[in-house]
Amino acid sequence: MALGYMTSLLLGIGLAVYGTLIYLVVLLVRALRKYLREGGRAQPQQAELQRSLGQAIKAQRTRCSMTQEYVAERLGVSRQAVSKWENGTSDPSTANLLALATLFGISVDELLRGVN
Protein backbone atom coordinates (compact mmCIF):
# COMPACT_ATOMS: atom_id res chain seq x y z
CA MET A 1 0.00 0.00 0.00
CA ALA A 2 2.78 2.44 0.89
CA LEU A 3 4.54 1.68 -2.37
CA GLY A 4 1.40 2.46 -4.35
CA TYR A 5 0.94 5.71 -2.44
CA MET A 6 4.54 6.78 -3.07
CA THR A 7 4.25 5.91 -6.75
CA SER A 8 1.11 7.99 -7.18
CA LEU A 9 2.68 10.86 -5.21
CA LEU A 10 5.78 10.83 -7.40
CA LEU A 11 3.62 10.59 -10.49
CA GLY A 12 1.59 13.60 -9.31
CA ILE A 13 4.73 15.62 -8.60
CA GLY A 14 6.18 14.65 -11.96
CA LEU A 15 3.02 15.75 -13.76
CA ALA A 16 3.07 19.06 -11.86
CA VAL A 17 6.70 19.66 -12.83
CA TYR A 18 6.03 18.81 -16.48
CA GLY A 19 2.94 21.00 -16.48
CA THR A 20 4.93 23.91 -15.06
CA LEU A 21 7.69 23.43 -17.64
CA ILE A 22 5.18 23.36 -20.48
CA TYR A 23 3.54 26.53 -19.13
CA LEU A 24 6.93 28.30 -18.96
CA VAL A 25 7.78 27.25 -22.50
CA VAL A 26 4.42 28.60 -23.73
CA LEU A 27 5.08 31.94 -21.98
CA LEU A 28 8.57 32.09 -23.46
CA VAL A 29 7.26 31.41 -26.97
CA ARG A 30 4.58 34.10 -26.58
CA ALA A 31 7.14 36.65 -25.39
CA LEU A 32 9.49 35.77 -28.24
CA ARG A 33 6.69 36.03 -30.83
CA LYS A 34 5.67 39.43 -29.45
CA TYR A 35 9.27 40.65 -29.56
CA LEU A 36 9.74 39.44 -33.13
CA ARG A 37 6.38 40.87 -34.23
CA GLU A 38 7.45 44.29 -32.92
CA GLY A 39 10.72 43.93 -34.75
CA GLY A 40 12.71 44.72 -31.62
CA ARG A 41 11.39 48.30 -31.69
CA ALA A 42 11.57 50.54 -28.68
CA GLN A 43 8.65 50.23 -26.33
CA PRO A 44 5.83 52.75 -26.80
CA GLN A 45 6.95 54.74 -23.78
CA GLN A 46 10.42 55.11 -25.24
CA ALA A 47 9.08 55.92 -28.70
CA GLU A 48 6.90 58.62 -27.22
CA LEU A 49 9.97 60.16 -25.63
CA GLN A 50 11.50 60.57 -29.07
CA ARG A 51 9.02 62.94 -30.68
CA SER A 52 9.30 66.37 -32.18
CA LEU A 53 7.79 69.57 -30.86
CA GLY A 54 5.36 69.56 -33.78
CA GLN A 55 4.15 66.08 -32.89
CA ALA A 56 3.68 67.15 -29.28
CA ILE A 57 1.66 70.21 -30.31
CA LYS A 58 -0.50 68.17 -32.67
CA ALA A 59 -1.05 65.46 -30.06
CA GLN A 60 -2.21 68.01 -27.50
CA ARG A 61 -4.40 69.82 -30.04
CA THR A 62 -6.14 66.62 -31.07
CA ARG A 63 -6.44 65.51 -27.42
CA CYS A 64 -8.34 68.73 -26.76
CA SER A 65 -10.43 68.26 -29.94
CA MET A 66 -9.29 71.59 -31.36
CA THR A 67 -8.79 72.50 -35.00
CA GLN A 68 -5.78 74.35 -36.32
CA GLU A 69 -8.10 77.24 -37.12
CA TYR A 70 -9.34 77.42 -33.54
CA VAL A 71 -5.80 77.35 -32.10
CA ALA A 72 -4.67 80.01 -34.58
CA GLU A 73 -7.62 82.25 -33.73
CA ARG A 74 -7.02 81.95 -29.98
CA LEU A 75 -3.29 82.71 -30.34
CA GLY A 76 -3.70 85.47 -32.92
CA VAL A 77 -1.65 83.72 -35.60
CA SER A 78 -2.52 82.22 -38.97
CA ARG A 79 -3.66 78.65 -39.45
CA GLN A 80 -0.62 78.19 -41.68
CA ALA A 81 1.62 79.11 -38.73
CA VAL A 82 0.03 76.38 -36.62
CA SER A 83 0.43 73.95 -39.52
CA LYS A 84 4.12 74.85 -39.84
CA TRP A 85 4.63 74.27 -36.11
CA GLU A 86 3.02 70.85 -36.36
CA ASN A 87 4.93 69.69 -39.43
CA GLY A 88 8.24 71.00 -38.06
CA THR A 89 8.85 73.68 -40.70
CA SER A 90 9.06 76.32 -37.95
CA ASP A 91 8.89 76.55 -34.19
CA PRO A 92 6.57 78.73 -32.12
CA SER A 93 8.03 81.67 -30.25
CA THR A 94 8.39 81.43 -26.50
CA ALA A 95 5.27 83.55 -26.03
CA ASN A 96 3.29 81.31 -28.39
CA LEU A 97 4.64 78.21 -26.64
CA LEU A 98 3.36 79.57 -23.32
CA ALA A 99 0.03 80.43 -24.94
CA LEU A 100 -0.25 76.93 -26.43
CA ALA A 101 0.36 75.28 -23.06
CA THR A 102 -2.24 77.53 -21.43
CA LEU A 103 -4.74 76.83 -24.21
CA PHE A 104 -4.21 73.08 -23.84
CA GLY A 105 -4.51 73.33 -20.04
CA ILE A 106 -1.05 71.95 -19.35
CA SER A 107 2.32 73.32 -18.28
CA VAL A 108 5.08 74.13 -20.74
CA ASP A 109 7.13 71.37 -19.11
CA GLU A 110 4.38 68.88 -19.87
CA LEU A 111 4.15 70.10 -23.47
CA LEU A 112 7.91 69.79 -23.94
CA ARG A 113 8.27 66.48 -22.07
CA GLY A 114 9.90 63.95 -24.35
CA VAL A 115 10.62 66.40 -27.17
CA ASN A 116 13.97 66.01 -28.95
Closest CA to 71 of 46, 102, 33: 102
Whole-model pTM: value is 0.57
Q: pLDDT under 50 in the chain at which residues? A: 46-49
Residue 86 is predicted with a pLDDT of 94
pLDDT at residue 6 in the model = 80
pLDDT at 96: 95
Predicted confidence at residue 41, as pLDDT, reads 60
How far is CA 75 from each of CA 5, 63, 79, 81, rounded to the nearest angstrom?
82, 18, 10, 10
